[in-house]
């Protein structure tokens, strides 16, 4: 087994055994529109997923009569994007362009902010993220894959996204956005994942180290980093 520099074979083996016991599975569903990924990635930082985030995303989808909302099961094996019924991010911005961020937050059903001290409305952050992506000619789910295949272009876009309030530690929000859009190599080492890793290893784990650990475990188990991340996250959120 090849272990990235700085990681211990014994820790990777221990984590791999623990992850395997969680019965990780490949992705079984994903949002059908990039706009819904933007909302999910933005609102999920620090908020309860099923109680707050999913209702926000579905509330917007209903307001625009987006269908399908999810692509599931066999549909994931087909061409996910572009589709005739896929909402572009420009259309997303047009749909919210005539209302204020405060009114948008009201319509979405959440006035949560990126921080309790000096943060902006998550509704505002969602708008700003979409604006950055549209400026970079990223309109659909398939455009994200094209973007991520260009390392230099990805760096520029991620730098612009980093300037928007509420990105989380070490760009967690952006990594999660890429995950939601279909990239199974990105992970979201949030507080749940960090707590699980720390519990298994008996020590504190940083966000940067967590990314390396999850990648190494995925390689050991011959599954995607997304599957490792999601298995851990699912385990931990079922406990809260």
Instruction: Please indicate, yes or no, whether residues 92 and 51 belong to a single structural domain of this protein.
Output: yes
Q: Would 2 be classed as within a structural domain?
A: no
Continuous segment of H or E residues that includes residue 72: strand 70-72
pLDDT (tens, 9 = 90+) of the chain, 240 residues, equals 444 445 688 999 999 999 999 999 999 999 999 999 999 999 999 899 999 999 999 999 999 999 999 999 999 989 999 999 999 999 999 999 999 999 999 999 999 999 988 899 999 999 999 999 999 999 999 999 999 999 999 999 999 999 999 998 778 999 999 999 999 998 888 889 999 999 999 999 998 899 999 999 999 999 999 999 999 999 998 754
Residue 217 has which token pair?
A: 């475990």
Q: Which residue has the tokens 């809260």?
A: 240
Could you count the other beta carbons within 10 Å of the beta carbon of residue 57? Answer: 26
Are 79 and 19 members of one domain? no
Backbone angles phi, psi at 42, to 5 degrees: -75, -45
Considering the domain architecture, whether residues 196 and 162 belong to the same structural domain is answered as no
CA distance linking residue 109 with residue 112, whole number of Å: 9
Overall pTM > 0.75: yes
Single out the residue in 132, 163, 180 at which a domain terminates. 180
Residue 8 three-state SS = coil
Listing DSSP states for 14-46 in one string gives HHHHHHHTT------EEESSHHHHHHHHHHTTT
Q: Do 227 and 195 share a structural domain?
A: yes
Do residues 60 and 35 make contact, with C-beta atoms less than 8 angstroms apart?
yes
Distance separating alpha carbons of residues 157 and 132, to the nearest angstrom: 7
Number of folded domains in the chain?
A: 2
On the question of a cis peptide bond just before residue 82, with omega within 30 degrees of 0, the verdict is yes
Verify that 48 and 151 share a domain, yes or no.
yes
* Domain end among 144, 163, 180: 180
Residues 134 and 217 in one domain: no
Q: Show Cβ contacts of residue 155 under 8 Å, excluding neighbours closer than 6 positions.
A: none
Phi and psi at residue 191, to the nearest 5°: -60, -30
CB 147 within 8 A of CB 153: yes
Q: Tell me, yes or no, whether 199 lies in a domain.
A: yes
Structural domain for 225, as ranges:
9-26+189-237
Whether residue 39 sits in one domain with residue 21: no
């Amino acid at each position: 087994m090849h272990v990235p520099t700085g990681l211990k074979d014994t820790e990777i083996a221990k984590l791999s055994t623990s992850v395997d016991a969680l019965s990780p599975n490949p992705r079984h569903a994903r949002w059908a529109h990039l706009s819904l990924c933007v909302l999910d990635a933005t609102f999920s930082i620090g908020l309860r997923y099923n109680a707050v985030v999913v209702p926000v995303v579905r509330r917007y989808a209903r307001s625009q009569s987006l269908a399908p909302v999810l692509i599931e099961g066999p549909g994931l094996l087909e061409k996910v994007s572009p589709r005739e019924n896929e909402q572009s991010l420009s259309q997303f911005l047009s749909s919210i362009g005539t209302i204020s961020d405060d009114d948008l937050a009201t319509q979405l059903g959440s006035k949560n902010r990126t921080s309790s001290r000096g943060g902006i409305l998550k509704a505002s952050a969602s708008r700003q993220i979409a604006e950055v992506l549209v400026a970079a000619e990223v309109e659909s789910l398939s455009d994200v894959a094209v973007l991520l295949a260009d390392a230099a272009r990805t760096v520029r876009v991620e730098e612009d996204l980093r300037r928007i309030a509420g990105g989380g530690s070490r760009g967690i929000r952006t990594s999660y956005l890429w995950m939601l859009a279909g990239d199974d190599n990105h992970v979201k080492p949030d507080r749940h994942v960090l707590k699980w890793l720390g519990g298994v290893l008996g020590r504190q784990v940083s966000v940067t180290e967590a990314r390396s650990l999850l990648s190494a475990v995925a390689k050991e188990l011959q599954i995607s980093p997304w599957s490792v991340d999601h298995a851990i996250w699912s385990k931990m959120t079922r406990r809260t």
